[in-house]
Amino acid sequence: MPDHHQHALVVLGRYQKEQQSSPWDLRALNLARFFDSDFVTPEVRCAVCAFGAREQDCLTSAMLLGLDIRVGFENNHFSASGVAANSNAEQVEKLKVISQHLHIPLHDAVSLREAIKDTETERGKKKEKEQEK
């Protein structure tokens, strides 16, 4: 696999009622081992999505771990309080508010493109130095 432009997706839970996601699922996966390896780097990112009513809790936990998140109506149609959400945008906005309360920085489209460009620039400089040796 290439060592850049990779984005792994960790999926918590399933559609089945007995397999709903929980923030504890992240602990059981022992994702910390990836941070101590070459798996999660600026070039290789890891995101989390979650099925069921605890989606917001799971994604908040993922943000606190420094992981990317994927919010989606394909996984969950309910708010954290258990009532039907009006839209996917509403779910995203709620997580944005949570991230602000927890001082977790977020990317918008412009800053994400810049971060990717910066990563590519750094990667190019690293290759140049290796070739000089």
Q: How many domains does the chain have?
A: 1
81-93: pLDDT as tens digits: 888 888 989 999 9
Position 52 in a domain: yes
**Can you give the residue range of the structural domain that contains 18?**
6-105
Cα separation, 117 vs 30, in Å, equals 30
Cα gap 11→67, rounded to integer Å: 13
Q: For a pLDDT cut of 90, what percent of the chain falls above it?
A: 20
The 44-50 sheet, strands edge to edge: 6-12, 44-50, 68-69
Domain for residue 95, yes or no? yes
What pLDDT is attached to residue 58? 93
**For residue 98, pLDDT beyond 90:** yes
CA separation for the pair 112, 90 (Å, rounded) = 21
Q: Which tens digits make up the pLDDT trace of 28-72?
A: 777 666 665 555 555 667 889 998 888 999 999 999 988 889 887
Q: pLDDT at residue 110 above 70?
A: yes
Closest C-alpha to 50, from 83, 28, 72: 72
Q: Could you tell me if residue 131 is inside a domain?
A: no
* Whole-number Cα distances in Å, 8 to 11, 100, 129: 10, 25, 28
User: Is 40 contained in some domain?
Assistant: yes
**Own/partner pairs for 91-100, CB < 8 Å, 24+ apart?**
91/55, 91/56, 94/56, 95/56, 95/59, 95/60, 95/63, 95/69, 95/71, 98/56, 98/60, 98/63, 99/63
CATH of the domain at 38: 3.20.20.70
| Within a domain: 83 | yes
